[in-house]
Amino acid sequence: MTANGWLQILFFSLAIFAVAKPLGLYLVAVYDGRVRWLGPIERGVYALSDVDPDEDQHWTRYAGSMLLFSLATMLLTYAVLRLQHLLPLNPQHLPAVTDRQSFETAASFTTNTNWQSYSGESTMSYFSQMTQLAYHNFVSAAVGMGIAVAFVRGLARQSAGKLGNFWADLVRGTLYVLLPLSLVFSLVLVHQGVIQNFTPYLNLTTLEGAKQTLAMGPVASQEAIKQLGTNGGGFFNANSAHPFENPTPWSNFWAMFLIFAIPSGLVWMFGRMIGNRRHGWAVWAAMFLLFFSGVSTVYWAEARGNPIHATAGVNMLASATQPGGNMEGKEVRFGIVNSALFATITTDASCGAVNAMHDSFTPLGGLVPLLNIQLGEVIFGGVGAGLYGMLAMIVLTVFIAGLMVGRTPEYLGKKIQAREIQMVMLFALLSSLIILGMTALSVILPAGLAELNNSGPHGFSEILYAFSSAFGNNGSAFGGLTGTTYYYNTMLAVTMLFGRFGLIVPVLALAGFMAEKKIVPESIGTFPVTGPLFVLLLIGVILIVGALTFFPALALGPIVEHFLMDAGRLF
């Protein structure tokens, strides 16, 4: 570890802190309906869709609208991918995507997972990339933001279970937040050297006389929303390690910044909308402490390197002539600190974009991204998903605090009773049921083991990571698992759908239940939610619920692998 590396982490942290309030203020104005500079377009969308944006929907109607919209767009994407060979903007004449991969990809991008069991440059036409995958990058992110705002309304209102209008939230989030920011940062990325064209692939001859094909395409416009919407699906198979997607240290910084920008602003927006900014900053502080702990661990593990290599005489120390540590699977343009920082950020959020191969991290370095996902990606998290996941954990924290002092728990002046806790526990327990259940099934079925290229604890970690990533709607992966079979395409797609909609529905139900309650004044027995005690208790609940749930599985994978590595038995 070096002083320069810590300064880069500090610089990123300050940038995320600085953007929280200004972007949060703007988000409040957007979702309050006070931003109207694209008013004619917004009204036109409502008119064409026959939508009344002023309708205040009950949580059941809000959830139903979200589910129907997601189903319709998923089916459309499946159809387009199956008919890709008949559609325009296909200069490479790529064939139709297979049925199993079309289903998985449609589910993946609809759920904001963006898991890719294919190589983008050799599978998807420009038309498929732009009209379907990039489209979902916008609307799946806007849906997540809308759910978070609806949850906040449920906490702030006394509205008989009404949470706002799904269609208005979807349109406003897309028109006023995602589109303009993506346009600006697309130009920033073009300035940094990210390509943006419709040129057919280039067939070149290298200096050594070999033939090479360079994939082209409208990359910068897709890269911006890929990061901003915490989508993560790369235009190229190498994702953000590819020089056409991420050519410079500054493009790498902006990629990381965009992942956390909206989630950071949403936390400030939450504090403002509930009328308790100190509580908003307390939540932000809990997220930041978890983030900093994670990146510190990954940086230490990767900078320490592999002791087996050190025993063999490889110099593990950083110097002016070599980076030291574990450089396996990392881009030399970014090095260890930016690989560790990127891996932590992309798994704290449900992004999944990568600029290094997580499969090549040391066992503890790979443990942190895996654990980040299993904690529910509540550490800033995906756009919207991180906030509503954290709010569910806050309700559970306040409930536990109330039981500890023998009082009826309350949060923001609202009593927490049986049905609210039932929704929180459904939210908390579904992840362990699906992730551990699917992993267990895959390690005993021949179809699950057939595509595994590694044995032992690392092979187990690869399967566990795949289902954790799918359920967490993350999309990153350990690369030793070949997921291009009917078994994995189907099982991972089903896991993604549970991870998105199986969590959103209880979240909306919880928000609706909270919206039905009257706000009562704070009393001497009210648990304070603004100080260090609350922050530490919240972090403790997150770690107990998340980490201990998955500890037995982690012990069979990365933890035992770490001890084997230190014993010199991994090669």
DSSP string, 433-495: HHHHHHHHHHHHSHHHHTTB---HHHHHHHHHHHHHHHHTT-----TTB---SHHHHHHHHHH
* Distance between CA atoms of residues 559 and 308, nearest Å: 17
Assigned token pair, 40: 């004619």
Q: What is the mean pLDDT of the chain?
A: 90
Question: What is the per-residue pLDDT across 510-534, written as a single tens digit (0 to 9) for each?
Answer: 999 999 988 887 777 678 888 899 9
Q: How many CA atoms lie within 13 A of 373 on its CB side?
A: 30
* Distance between CA atoms of residues 543 and 4, nearest Å: 30
> Which residue type is seen at 337?
V
Question: What whole-number percentage of the chain has pLDDT above 90?
Answer: 62
Predicted confidence band at 570 (pLDDT cuts at 50, 70, 90)?
Answer: low
Assigned token pair, 176: 């006023």
Task: Say whether pLDDT at 19 is over 70.
Answer: yes
Q: CA quadruple 341, 347, 348, 353: dihedral positive or negative?
A: positive
- Compute φ and ψ for 356, nearest 5 degrees: -155, 160
Average pLDDT estimate for 186-210 = 91
Average pLDDT estimate for 151-174 = 91
Task: Say whether pLDDT at 314 is over 80.
Answer: no
Question: What is the per-residue pLDDT across 262-271, written as a single tens digit (0 to 9) for each?
Answer: 999 999 999 9
| Residue 145 near residue 384, CB atoms below 8 Å | yes
Average pLDDT estimate for 83-93 = 91
- Domain-wise residue ranges, the chain: 22-276
CB atoms within 10 A of CB 429: 12
Question: What whole-number percentage of the chain has pLDDT above 70?
Answer: 99
Task: Say whether pLDDT at 569 is over 60.
Answer: no
Confidence (pLDDT) at 396: 92
Phi-psi region of 232 (alpha: psi -120 to 50; beta: other; left: phi over 0): left
Residues making up the chain, counted from first to last: 571
CB atoms within 10 A of CB 99: 13
Q: What share of the chain is helix, strand, coil (3-state, %, to 5)?
A: 65, 5, 30
Assigned token pair, 83: 């008919």
Task: Say whether pLDDT at 344 is over 90.
Answer: yes
* Distance between CA atoms of residues 133 and 130, nearest Å: 6
Phi-psi region of 24 (alpha: psi -120 to 50; beta: other; left: phi over 0): alpha
Secondary structure of residue 359 in the 3-state scheme: helix
Confidence (pLDDT) at 571: 44
What are the angstrom distances between the C-alpha of 449 and each of 103, 111, 189, 454, 481?
22, 26, 41, 10, 9
| Residue 124 near residue 132, CB atoms below 8 Å | no
Q: Which residue has the higher pLDDT, 328 or 228?
A: 228
Question: What is the per-residue pLDDT across 21-49, written as a single tens digit (0 to 9) for each?
Answer: 999 999 999 999 898 899 899 999 999 99
User: Which one, of 180, 209, 56, lies nearest residue 515 by Cα?
Assistant: 56
* Distance between CA atoms of residues 530 and 507, nearest Å: 23
| Residue 330 near residue 336, CB atoms below 8 Å | yes
* Distance between CA atoms of residues 423 and 409, nearest Å: 15
DSSP secondary structure code for residue 356 in this structure? B
Confidence (pLDDT) at 233: 84
* Distance between CA atoms of residues 106 and 114, nearest Å: 9
> Which residue type is seen at 487?
Y
User: Which one, of 342, 45, 15, 291, lies nearest residue 165 by Cα?
Assistant: 45
Average pLDDT estimate for 454-464 = 90
Average pLDDT estimate for 87-113 = 92
| Residue 227 near residue 255, CB atoms below 8 Å | yes
SS (H, E, C) 331-344: CCCCHHHHHHHHHH
SS (H, E, C) 201-247: CEEEECCCCCEEEECCCEHHHHHHHHHHCCCCCCCCCCHHHCCCCCC
